[in-house]
Amino acid sequence: MQLLAVGLNHTTAPVSLREQLAFAPEQLGQAVMAARSWFERIDHRGSDEAAILSTCNRTELYAASTVPDPLDAGAHFLADFHKLNYAELRPHLYMLPQHDAVRHTFRVASGLDSMVLGETQILGQIKDAIRTADEVGGLGTYLHQLFQRSFSVAKEVRSTTEIGAHSVSMAAAAVRLSQRIFDKISEQNVLFIGAGEMIELCATHFAAQNPKSITIANRTLERGEVLAHRFGGRAIRLADLQDKLHQYDIVISCTASSLPLIGLGMVERAVKARRHKPMFMVDLAVPRDIEPEVGRLNDAFLYTVDDLGKVVQTGLENRQAAVAQAEAIIETRVQSFMHWIDDRAVVPVIQHLQENGEALRLLELERARKMLAKGEDIDAVLEALSKGLTAKFMHGPQQALHRAQGEERAQLAELLPQMFRGRR
């Protein structure tokens, strides 16, 4: 069984490609089952495991498989599922086997592979992905153990290092960028599209700047009203955007929509109604909520999740010591997990030895019982039992030693005495 991680992230692929490879939340269960079927068609033993993590910054397939080339199989699955050209996708993928896959999983969970170094949101996203995979039967012994250990590693990294200190969140970066367009956010009307965790985080940061008004646009009005109430704002339906977009100076969007919610024409009409007063727009969604062509308008300043990523990279030098400490912790835990995998590899051998030993024991025990039933002396029966067990257990190793030659015989000659060195 080989562990693997195949995918792309904000460092290997632009948002235009990431959105093509992204899985919608309602797709994940089906995709996990499709991944298992994909591997099982290649190797019919049916013991493969799979889980998929899909966020605005990454799409990754984690698997444990017995197929001959699991990395290539995993990469082709991602391309096939999304109907993408494999040759065009392949240069953007990282394909990590066994040891590297384990290290990558631990780094992702700990926030070391995130656009915002040390951010904690990714851990919740991993837990959601694993819960989905588990619900559809995607997890087995290997992936379950891998992710449980990744959670422990993440907790250790966050509690013993300063990896999260000094980090600039995407929400804080959005505020910082908006201040380049508007001197005073307190004089601006702010619209948030969506009501998820990222929007909640952004609303918290912008609310601290006391904007003129806060509005939440959401598909479900009731959920939008709950979030709006927290910040003294109001809620509208997504369907109202067409008529009300022009009222807002700052627009932050992050939904799970598979298609853009705001098109070029909608923004053109809004800018015209605003008499070309600038609009600051941030699209944190993948796939994108706002058509990229909007960025070409003179009075619309559109930033994507990748643009904000460049802002949050500032101050990295302040965290290098914490990163080194975190990497050391992760490397130690990787070695521990690989030792567990090595132990798993010999489990079938140990089970086979135990089954053979039990069969021999039962055979000699039955022979002894028959001797006792015939009235033979108990000491003679015990003597025969012990000799019979010893002869049967020694037969295999002795035959192996006789058949072996050269280096193999030398190795057996060294190992066999250790194997049969029992307690005295």
Helices (H), 138-219: 141-160, 170-181, 197-207
Decide: helix, strand or coil at residue 189: strand
Decide: helix, strand or coil at residue 5: strand
pLDDT score for 404: 82
pLDDT score for 167: 59
Residue 246's CB is within 10 A of a number of other CB atoms, namely 16
- Whether the CB-CB separation of 295 and 302 falls below 8 Å is answered with yes
Pick out the residues of the known binding site: 55-58, 114, 119-121, 125, 194-199
State pLDDT tens for residues 368-400. Answer: 898 889 888 888 889 888 888 888 878 888 888
Burial class (CB in 10 A: 0-12, 13-18, 19+), 320: exposed
Q: Would you say domain 2-166+319-343 falls under CATH 3.30.460.30?
A: yes
- Whether the CB-CB separation of 194 and 218 falls below 8 Å is answered with yes
315 Ramachandran zone, left/alpha/beta (phi>0; psi -120 to 50): left
Pick out the residues of the known binding site for NADP(+): 194-199
**The total number of residues written for the chain in this structure:** 424
Q: Is the pLDDT of residue 316 over 70?
A: no
Distance CA 305, CA 289 (A): 11
Angle at Cα 297 formed by Cα 291 and Cα 298, nearest 5°? Answer: 155
Distance CA 19, CA 54 (A): 10
Residue 281: which H helix or E strand, with range?
A: strand 279-283
**Nearest Cα to 224, choosing from 191, 250, 194?**
194
- In order, the DSSP letters of 210-246 are --SEEEEEESSHHHHHHHHHHTT-EEEEGGGHHHHGG
Band of residue 125 on the pLDDT scale cut at 50, 70, 90: very high
What is the maximum alpha-carbon separation in the chain? 112
What are the residue boundaries of the structural domains of the chain, listed by start?
2-166+319-343, 170-298
Q: Is the pLDDT of residue 422 over 70?
A: no
Residue 365 Cα to chain centre, angstroms: 52
Let me know if the fold of 2-166+319-343 is the same as that of 170-298. Answer: no
Band of residue 121 on the pLDDT scale cut at 50, 70, 90: confident
Band of residue 313 on the pLDDT scale cut at 50, 70, 90: confident
State the average pLDDT for the chain: 90
Helix count (H) and strand count (E) of the chain? 16, 10
pLDDT score for 318: 61
Out of 20-34, 48-62, 363-377, least confident range: 363-377
Decide: helix, strand or coil at residue 424: coil
Could you give phi then psi for residue 167, rounded to 5 degrees?
Answer: -70, 145
Q: Is the pLDDT of residue 424 over 60?
A: no
Band of residue 358 on the pLDDT scale cut at 50, 70, 90: confident
Residue 366's CB is within 10 A of a number of other CB atoms, namely 10
pLDDT score for 421: 67
Distance CA 129, CA 123 (A): 10
Set 1, 5, 22, 56: catalytic member: 56
State pLDDT tens for residues 134-144. Answer: 999 999 999 99
Band of residue 304 on the pLDDT scale cut at 50, 70, 90: very high
Kindly list the distances between the CA atom of residue 136 and the CA atoms of 22, 48, 142, 169, 398, in Å, as whole numbers in the listed order: 19, 13, 16, 33, 49
Indicate if 56 belongs to the active site: yes
State pLDDT tens for residues 148-176. Answer: 999 999 999 999 988 877 556 788 889 98
CATH code of domain 170-298: 3.40.50.720
Rounded mean pLDDT, 319-335? 90
Strand 250-253 versus strand 189-193 pairing type: parallel
Task: Match 């053979």 to its residue by tokens.
Answer: 356
Query: What six digits make up the tokens of 43?
Result: 């190797």
pTM: 0.76
Distance CA 178, CA 173 (A): 9
Distance CA 80, CA 21 (A): 10
Which amino acid would we find at residue 385?
L
Sequence-ordered strand ranges (E) for 55-188: 58-65, 94-97
State pLDDT tens for residues 210-268. Answer: 999 999 999 999 999 999 999 999 999 999 999 999 999 999 999 999 999 999 999 99
- Whether the CB-CB separation of 287 and 258 falls below 8 Å is answered with yes
State pLDDT tens for residues 393-419. Answer: 788 888 888 888 888 888 878 887 877
